Structure formats: C-alpha cells, structure tokens
Amino acid sequence: MTQLNEQQKRHLRRLGHQLKPVVRMGGAGLTPNVLHEIDQALDAHELIKVKIAADDRAGRKQFIDTICSDMDAELVQAMGNVALLFRRSRIEKKQRIALP
C-alpha cells in the first residue's frame, strides 16, 4: 500500500469520525481470530475503527504496528485506545472510498 499524504488522512479522519469500533481487541491480545476479523472488516468497509485493550501506550502502539504490517493497512489516526485504519478493499465491488 502506498503511504497516505496529509490531505488524504484528513479526508479519512473526517469520514471516520462518526464510525463505531467494529473490532474490539480483548484481554487475550492480538490472536489469529482478531487478525482475521480485522482483515474481513477492512475488505468489507475499507475504513474501520479498532478498539484496543492495552494498559500502556507502548503496548497499544505495538499492537497497532503489528496490525498495520500484517494487514497491509495504513494507520490514519490513533486516539487513546481506538485506532482508525484504512486499506483499499481487495474486492473491487466494495471499493467505495475515493481519496483526494
């Protein structure tokens, strides 16, 4: 995936503002099932919020970095324990978001 520029990130933040988290990562951490759910959600929606249950900032950042690298997704914004992620859908019919 290509890097998003600031204008594109701003556009995606605007679109993601009203979204609710579709994946919630629990105390078990980043399991294969959680990664599978994130992968499916990204293919279905392209822009998703993930709620991460980690006690410290470094732990959350590590989870987000792992998710982004494993899913080939781009971090748009991380606020507290919620991350906004974007990845172009692999299913052409479901590619809905037009980037500026």
pTM for the whole structure: 0.91
Q: Could you state, in order of their start, the residue ranges of all structural domains in the chain?
A: 6-86
Q: What is the pLDDT of residue 53?
A: 86
**Fold adopted by 6-86:** Translation Initiation Factor IF3 (3.30.110)
Report the percentage of the chain scoring pLDDT > 70. 98
pLDDT digits (tens, 9 = 90+) for 33-45: 999 999 999 999 9
Q: Which residues of 61-93 are buried (b: 16+ CB within 10 A; e: fewer)?
A: eebbeebbeebebbbbbbeebbbbbbbbbeeee
**pLDDT, tens only, 42-78:** 999 999 999 998 888 888 999 999 999 999 999 999 9
Query: What's the chain's average pLDDT?
Result: 91
In single-letter form, the type of residue at position 32 comes to P
